[in-house]
Chains A and B, each alone.
Chain A
């Protein structure tokens, strides 16, 4: 297997749209990296440059230490799974999977055997003789995956392969993709705009925004320690509380004073952004007499999410969401006055003046 290195990739389309700004990314051998970002942030462009369908305006792509920037796509040995259904309509599932081997002039017997092994791997051993129009969307994407793997590619590229599928199939197939990827130990780039998808299957995630990598790291880090306001906003649900540092760990916000150990290092007067996940916010019944230094708000709405219920509170005009176990949600009915606690330890603070 091979390490994939993108260095200084820049892509400017005719008409002046800059889709990528000097993108640097190293995907280790056998690693699964997701490119995560909103529509139009350049994910597909990056993937197409790796596949060879687009040429970068500047920058290089190399695989296993070999520069392939100028290599045509059909000589790159990259397996690609597309967002749109891409099976050849005139070929059976078996022949679709065997196509790359046929191009490589493998004898029919060997080719069919290999194709059937791969169809077995994706759980479609029975469908070998069927044509694409006889397969469901999920099955078609499985065949497409088997087809991409058949050529034993150096790198596997997946461009939102699940986005056209139903929620249930999507969940199932993404686990399967991860299982197969780990079993084969294949270097993989997975493009998605779905943060949950990226968090659940990646070794590392590169969050892309306006053609730049905002943050690169393991899922837990992306979720737990977003490096920029954009990442905080895009990945998961985040309460964003703006305030001003008092220089000794206090952040004066619209809702009141927050005391955070992570704010201590910021000088007085700096504008800070406090980021706190709903599941970290604690709610409790408010004392009848307000205690100084506590935030007290009113419940504005509740959204049932299954195991937890998301409670929206308004603290002096500032909205703060908190997740509470659904079993105790009735304790915080709409209109109730509640005490809202942002944990002193472990809450992230970004310096907006930096």
Chain B
């Protein structure tokens, strides 16, 4: 059946697209403006040549990767276990996933201070400057990764939740066990491969959240990409706009790469959910 769009739909579609595109196009145009009313790419060259650009961007990506690893390692087994053994807890999990969305980041940060102490977590002796990233490969602060894991939790869990609903978890688990596999083997060899699209989806959402997060990082005085963009804006509007455009393109580039990765040869179809016997 072909659905034909009526005039109202066209107008709605046009308004929707404009809503997203106009600011973006305006930003892109503004980013090329010069003080003499001309257009060039000087803002881009200035930004790309800045040491702060590279360090903040790489810091953001390290944070994103660390957050993705931590949240995946935490959430995949948890979601699996809840679905398999504690289905009664699912409503509670659903409720819990809303908490990070309703508690404002500023409140989260206020909680981190007393909890972990300003000089590192008291339960770890109070001298935990490592908590802020010292002595950690890449200086990735566990404090920030922890905070971002909390922020990403709703998205990661929900993504896994729908992935788990799509496969016959109980039968696959029992088949694996009857063939001699323990929990860990089953998780790695059966569950994770069949959850790949859901895991990647969660990873992408996490990446987007971490790249865009500003409040917590700035209060804790870190300079990831978002904080860097904001600080550049205080001296140069065009440079800030060029950074926004770069960030936008980067995010889209990564998303497309991920989509290719999940759909690519041996990707999507192989991870197709089991057909039930019904």
Contact = CB atoms under 8 A, between A and B. Distances in A.
Interface stretch (B28-36, B165-173, B213-221, B243-251): B165-173
Interface string A91-114: 000000001101110000000000
A103 B182 CA distance: 9
Contacts of A72: 177
A250 interface: no
B178 A74 contact: yes
Interface in B163-201: 167-168, 171-172, 174-182, 185, 189-190, 193-194, 196
B182 A84 contact: no
A90 B178 contact: no
A80 B275 contact: no
B181 A88 contact: no
Interface in A16-59: 51-53
Query: Max chain B CB contacts within 10 Å: which of A74, A90, A103, A132?
Result: A90
Contacts of A75: 180
B134 to A, nearest CB: 41
Nearest to A165: B277
B271 A73 contact: no
B194 A83 contact: no
A131 B180 contact: no
Nearest to B181: A103
A84 B168 contact: yes
B275 A85 contact: yes
Given A103-B185, A132-B274, A133-B275, A86 B180 contact: no
A131 to B, nearest CB: 6
A104 B179 CA distance: 9
B273 interface: yes
Contacts of B190: 88, 90
A84 B277 contact: yes
B180 A88 contact: no
Interface residues of A, number: 36
B276 interface: yes
B194 A80 contact: no
A144 B171 CA distance: 12
Interface string A68-89: 0000111111111011111111
A79 B189 CA distance: 19
Contacts, number: 96
Interface residues of B, number: 29
B39 interface: no
Contacts of B171: 82, 84-86
B175 A86 contact: yes
Given A99-B179, A133-B272, A151-B179, A82 B174 contact: yes
Given A85-B274, A88-B190, A164-B277, A131 B269 contact: yes
Nearest to A51: B178
A82 B174 CA distance: 9
Contacts of B189: 88, 99, 102-103
B260 interface: no
Would you call the interface of chain B mostly helix, strand, loop, or mixed?
loop
Contact of A89 (B174, B181, B185, B194): B194
Query: Max chain B CB contacts within 10 Å: which of A51, A84, A89, A148?
Result: A89
B193 to A, nearest CB: 4
A204 interface: no
A337 interface: no
A147 interface: yes
B168 A100 contact: no
B130 to A, nearest CB: 38
Given A85-B274, A133-B275, A80 B269 contact: no
A89 B271 contact: yes
A77 to B, nearest CB: 8
Contact of A90 (B182, B194, B278): B194
Contact of A74 (B167, B177, B272): B177
Nearest to A48: B174
Query: Max chain A CB contacts within 10 Å: which of B168, B176, B277?
Result: B277
Given A88-B175, A89-B194, A89-B272, A100 B167 contact: no
Contacts of A76: 178
B168 A86 contact: yes
Query: Max chain B CB contacts within 10 Å: which of A83, A99, A102, A104?
Result: A99
Nearest to B183: A74
B270 interface: yes
A79 to B, nearest CB: 7
18 contacts: A73-B177, A74-B182, A78-B178, A80-B178, A84-B168, A84-B276, A86-B174, A87-B274, A88-B175, A88-B193, A89-B270, A89-B271, A90-B190, A90-B196, A99-B179, A103-B189, A131-B269, A151-B179
Given A87-B175, A133-B275, 5 more contacts: A51-B174, A72-B177, A85-B274, A103-B189, A151-B180
Interface of B: 167-168, 171-172, 174-182, 185, 189-190, 193-194, 196, 269-278
